[in-house]
Amino acid sequence: MKAVVFLVAFLMAPVYAQFDFGVICSTDNRLATGPNNSHKLAYRSEIVFPDRDTATVVFQSSESIYLCLSGNGTGQPWSRPVALYPGANPGIAYGRNGNRHLVWEMFDTTLGARNIFYRNLEYRMEPINVSGCTSACYHPDVLGDSVGIAHIVWAEDSGSFRQIYYRRVNQSGIIGERELISSARFCDLPAIEQFGDEICVIWEQYGTTLAQAYKIVRRRYANGAWQPEEVLMAGNERLGSPSLDFSLGNEGFSAAWEKTVAGNPEVHFEGGNPGGGYPTDGASTAPVMATVGNVWSYLFWQEESTGVNDIYTHFYYFMTGWSRGSLRRVFMLNEPVYAPNCLGALLVWTQGDTAPYKVMWGFFEYPIGVKEQTAHSRDGDAAKLVNRIIMGKVYYAQWQMHLYDASGRRVMELQPGANDMMRLAPGVYFVRGAANIRLDAKGSGKVIITR
């Protein structure tokens, strides 16, 4: 039997005044929330009940990595920063079983080299050296799956060149084999995420010859094996700084990277919604993105135009289209901002002219509104459910709702007496409609159907 959960909210106008931001803590690192290949934010659910979750942010300050916690997904209030370990470039991810997985660079005195370390934050365990080599290793990223396994990638120096390696660690701290997953010699900045049943790794690649010297490469782990490398983009000008969209596992592939055009860095967004990331006169770098199918997208990147360091935004909602903005204009900031990193509608960045810099947060709301109510139906009766949620205790017979799937396609029209929601497949759906009362009350929201 299916349980149908409506998360309903009244439509709101997408105005900047409803966005919120604040300071998390201070840092001495101007790029504390970078680089963009790994997530600096983690919380269990990107959309479902974000206001009831606990957000975790990791960043770098001095020669150590730090962690702060927030009481909810809107980023307020944040705890005081906790120093975790010496090192740099942390990445964090919530596994699909609820475990937080942390990776970072740290010097191994025994091996005499900077290596990649891992820790499951939900367990009392010592940091585990997952790279385990005498070569210098950089820029780790991590994915946690539904059975507690951490999938870790990093860039490793091998003599005069750099390649991409992969390793997995289970909840008991047992590590798998080191696997070289890049065939070329000059690779860097790997990112890892799961889309559907596939684990995807992307990285930047550069060669020594001019023709198609720069590439963004993807490799997928599917059907129990690594598939051949795929070139997502190639060119004679730099392609780099790739990042992957956070996914709950049921979304299509989406990624972002820098694409240099006539000497000027621009940003490119792959998958999600077409049209994201517009050309600018200045240098556009370090792109990150968060999407929900083809329904909405949050795109951010660092922008240096007219001598100003800013972070540009490009948001999409399938009922209203694209909107543009920048952090400095939206929040009326008079300081430069750097190194965006996002998860859903929550963004972190580094801000300031000189040290100490500030680690900042911003919350850009979800287009379904600001106040959610929930109700459950196990008999698939749309009329009873919608009446209880939208109209309260009074029965209103005149109403109409439309359900949309994650691609924005309308899949069903709900009317009084309709009892056909039981035929919907489990998934995330969005609802928009109106009810005839004294005045037309319009609402929109989303529906989650689980078995």
Identify the CATH number of the domain defined by range 20-363: 2.130.10
Strands, E assignment, 74-184:
82-86, 88-94, 100-108, 113-120, 128-129, 137-144, 150-158, 161-169, 179-180
Q: How far is CA 393 from CA 158, 374, 390, 396, 442, in A?
A: 68, 14, 9, 9, 17
Other C-beta atoms lying within 10 Å of the C-beta of residue 184: 16
Residues of the chain with pLDDT under 50: 1-17, 48-49, 73, 75, 369-379, 389-397, 435-451
**Predicted local distance difference test score (pLDDT) of residue 398:** 56
Q: b/e per residue, 276-297, with b = 16+ CB within 10 A?
A: bbeebebbbbbbbbbbbbbbbb
Cα–Cα distance between 126 and 342 in angstroms, integer? 28
Closest CA to 288 of 338, 351, 224: 338
**Predicted local distance difference test score (pLDDT) of residue 96:** 77
**Tokens 């209103």 sit on residue:** 396
∠ Cα 420 422 427 (to 5°): 120
Closest CA to 317 of 363, 362, 364, 279: 364
Cα–Cα distance between 136 and 167 in angstroms, integer? 16
Delimit the domains of the chain by residue range. Answer: 20-363, 376-450
Alpha carbon 316 to its chain's center = 15
Q: How far is CA 440 from CA 391, 400, 433, 437, in A?
A: 12, 11, 10, 6
DSSP H helical segments within 158-286, as ranges?
Answer: none
**Predicted local distance difference test score (pLDDT) of residue 34:** 97
Q: What is the largest CA-CA distance in the chain?
A: 75
CA atoms within 13 A of residue 268's CA, in its CB half-sphere: 17
Domain at 376-450, CATH from 2.60.40, 3.30.1490, 3.30.460, 3.90.1690: 2.60.40
Domains 20-363 and 376-450 share a fold: no
**Tokens 């540009």 sit on residue:** 312
- pTM for the whole thing? 0.82
Closest CA to 204 of 136, 292, 268: 268
CB 58 within 8 A of CB 66: yes
**Predicted local distance difference test score (pLDDT) of residue 274:** 79
Closest CA to 130 of 150, 145, 158: 150
Strand, helix or coil at 129?
strand
CB 345 within 8 A of CB 298: yes
